Each structure stands twice: as C-alpha cells, then as structure tokens.
Amino acid sequence: MFFIQLFVMSVFHSCLGENGLLRVYYPGNIIIGGLFPIHLKTNRTDTSGPLFCQDYDIQMFLRSQVMIYAIRELNLPNITIGYDIYDTCGDVGLALRATLQLLKNQSDPQSCLVPADAQSKLPEPKTKVVIGERTSEASIAVARLVALSSVISYGSTSEVLSRKYKFPTFLRTVPSDEYQTRGMVELVKTFYWQTVIIVGSDDEYGKYGSDSLVKTFSKTNICIEFVHILSADFNINGAKTQTELTELLEKIKNSSAEAIILFTKEINVEIILKEAIKHKFNRTWIASDTWSSSPKIFAIPDIQLAGQVFGFIFKQIEVPGFKDYVMSIFNGTQKNAFVEYYLTQHPLCSNQSEEVKVNNCSLNYQLESNQCLGTSFLANCIDKEESYNIYLAVQVIGEGLRHLLKCDDHHCERSSKFTASEVQERCFLIVLLLLLLFCC
C-alpha cells in the first residue's frame, strides 16, 4: 500500500549564522545536521539587490522544532547529541551553502573540505548525518555533494533518488513516487476514466514523476490527451509565466479529458488553480503528495470553484508528546534561535482577546507580518505527515547509534569517535525495515 523528558538549556548562535543563513546550533559529541525551508522562497529573480528570504512558513518552523524535540528525546548514556540546523529558504543554492557549512569540521573552522593532496582521503566531517532536504530538487543537489555523511530526507519522493549508484549516501523516511504513480493509475481505472492530462514541471520531482506516469499509463488502455511540462522558471518569471499559463489553460479548456493530474510543486499548482478559478473552470484534478494536503492550496479564495480534487497523502501519525512541547515552546528551556526568530515575525499576544481563533492552519498564509499569535494556533498547525517523517529520521539515527556504539540503558561500550559510513550502514537497514512496514 502507498500509505505511508529531559530538557536541556539550548545554546544557540545568533539568528543569522555564517553566510547570513538562519541557523540554530547546539553542541554535542555527535552532531546531526538539518536542512529546512522555513522560508519558502528567495528574491533570487531580483538581481539588483541583495538576496533575502521570503514567505515565512509556520509549519516548516514547527517541523524544524520536531527535529530538535526528537533529538532531545534520544537517550544515549554519557553522549550528548547536538544539532546544526539551517533555514534553506526553498533555494537549492542556499541548501548547498548550508551543506558545505555542515561538512566542515566544526572544531577547526579554517579546515578545507578538499585536501590539497589529491591522494589524501577526504576529512571526516563531525556532522555524521544530515536530515533533509524537503524537495527532491534540493535533495538531489545535496546528495551529490555529500560523499561521506548520510542524508535522510523527510519529504523527497523522486524515483531518481532510489538509484544507489548515483546517490549511495541518500536515505529517506518517505516512499518513492513509484508507489504514488501506481496509485494514480489505479484511481483512474477505478473511476473508469478513459482520458487524462498530465502536467509536470522541468525539475527533478515533476519531470521524473510525469515520466513515470506516462510509462505506467502506457501499460493500460487509458489515453493521455497531452503532457505539459512547465518550464523550470514557471513560478518566478512574470511575463513568461503568464504566457505559458494562458497556453496551458487554453489547452485544458478545449480538452475533453476526464481528469487532470498536476504532478508538480505546490507553488506551481497555486498559480494554475488561481487562474482556473478566475476563468471559472470546473474540472477533476488529481493531486500529487506535494499539494494534496497543502494548507496553502486550501487557503486559495473560492478554491471549491476549481472542481473536485482527488489526492494522495501519506499515512498520518501524530508525533508523540510534541503538542505538549509546542505549548511550552516559549519557556526558557525550549527556546532556540528559530523560536526567537519566530517571535520577531509573530509575537505572543498580550491577552487572549487578541489571539487568532482558528482550527485550520491555512490561515498561516493569510497572516500579516507581526500578527500576534498564541501557542494554541501553533498547536493547530502541527501536521501528521512530514513532522512524523522527521521524527522517524531522528529515531532511525538514534537506533543506528545505539547499535553502533553498543549502548544499553546505562553505558555505551564504544566512544563517540566513528566514521560517517559506519552510521550509514546501521541507518540503511533500519530505514529499509520502516519502508517495508509502511509500504507493504
């Protein structure tokens, strides 16, 4: 099937770490890296000014806190697990910059990532495992860069990442798109639809996903009326976007297809559906996992006018104890640089009458900067998909370390000095077991 407390005072660096990236760091014998797009995008198209991050996302902030919470729950005798987490702002370039920082030896900031002697071995990084990235596009770039440390993604589903000869250090706690595309074909067959449209995008997620759909549909009697691959800069090039969007909607308008599969990232879907609503389209849409449960899509005005949507989501499981953690997140023991930054965006309300009363986190995308919020709003924004995948990733690392260091409840036989490849071997077996349990 596809369905997939001991609190310590946090020592953190200033909100903007090296290279101007929002960062939180806690020292330890073993460091786990983290990559999270807490801001969803940058102003990279504006070449006239400095680069800065935009669209602060409360749910992604909470997901970064899941990692911190889960690490604090790990209980390895006489060993402190630290973390080094970056906000990558939904930008591949910034994700690579953060990864380079993680690969450096923190005990020697001046150390070089690549030795001068080509015959020498690469220096052993103190960051043994990196949790991230969220998107397949970013994970592919990061996994290509990382030669020694393991990378465990909580959201990257592209089939290409399953190719071990290309990405030997990549692992994930989420199933590959192979299962999703099979599910979409079965859905179409269940409703006896004869014709579909596939909309993908020129990136690692949308291209490989749409290719997989075409391949799977070719084994059936279902007709693909047309496949449209959105350009790589579809969501950032104003005039070109509008031209391409008009062309796509005209093709859909003249189509008799019974369902339209949007296998692309959330921001592209948002643009398409807003325009579809504007032109009073009422069609049947099939959602990939990037947007099937997206609060941002649900928050589009008059979204119900777009028609009916069938989506695929992962099995939803609540992170045990995390809601209580969030309710006390502004206490001294839980505070970290990301929490401090959150308070600059949304300070706590001085009284209950000012608080936003809402059960749906889609309001997250309609809030003005500096809108005060209470902890109850944050608690309502905790998701049960990616958050649990992040929690699982930390648990995988914890179990891997427990086996590697030969730990019981009282002591560990080995010291915390080991190679990243040793961790990867242990983590690989645990991730494989998890995916067998969730996907089969």
Is-contact 180 210, C-beta < 8 A? no
Packing angle, helices 136-145 and 92-103, rounded to 10: 30
Instruction: Give the least confident one: 156-170, 203-217, 269-283, 405-419.
Output: 405-419
Is-contact 85 34, C-beta < 8 A? yes
At 13-71, the pLDDT tens digits run 334 444 568 999 999 888 999 999 999 888 876 556 678 898 899 999 999 999 999 99
Percent of the chain residues past pLDDT 70, beyond the cut = 79
At 234-251, the pLDDT tens digits run 877 667 788 899 999 999
Confidence class for position 2, pLDDT limits 50, 70, 90: very low
Using CB atoms within 10 Å of the CB of residue 278, give its burial: 0 to 12 exposed, 13 to 18 middle, 19+ buried.
exposed
Q: Is the pLDDT of residue 429 over 60?
A: no
Give the per-residue pLDDT at 149: 79
CA 364 to each of CA 323, 376, 416, 432: distance values in angstroms, whole numbers, following the listed order: 18, 13, 41, 35
416 or 308, which is more confident:
308
CATH for 18-175+319-439 is 3.40.50.2300
> Where in the chain are the domains?
18-175+319-439, 177-311
Is-contact 231 240, C-beta < 8 A? yes
Residue 188: helix, strand or coil by DSSP?
helix
Q: Which class does domain 177-311 fall in?
A: alpha beta
| Same topology between domain 18-175+319-439 and domain 177-311 | yes
Q: Is the pLDDT of residue 119 over 50?
A: no
The Cβ of residue 206 has, within 10 Å, a number of other Cβ atoms equal to 27
What is the amino acid identity at position 369?
A: S
Most confident of 194-198, 236-240, 338-342, 361-365: 194-198
Q: Rounded distance, CA 113 to CA 127, Å?
A: 13
Q: Rounded distance, CA 16 to CA 120, Å?
A: 34
Quote the pTM value. Answer: 0.85
Give the per-residue pLDDT at 193: 96
At 357-406, the pLDDT tens digits run 555 676 566 666 677 888 888 888 899 889 999 999 999 888 888 888 88
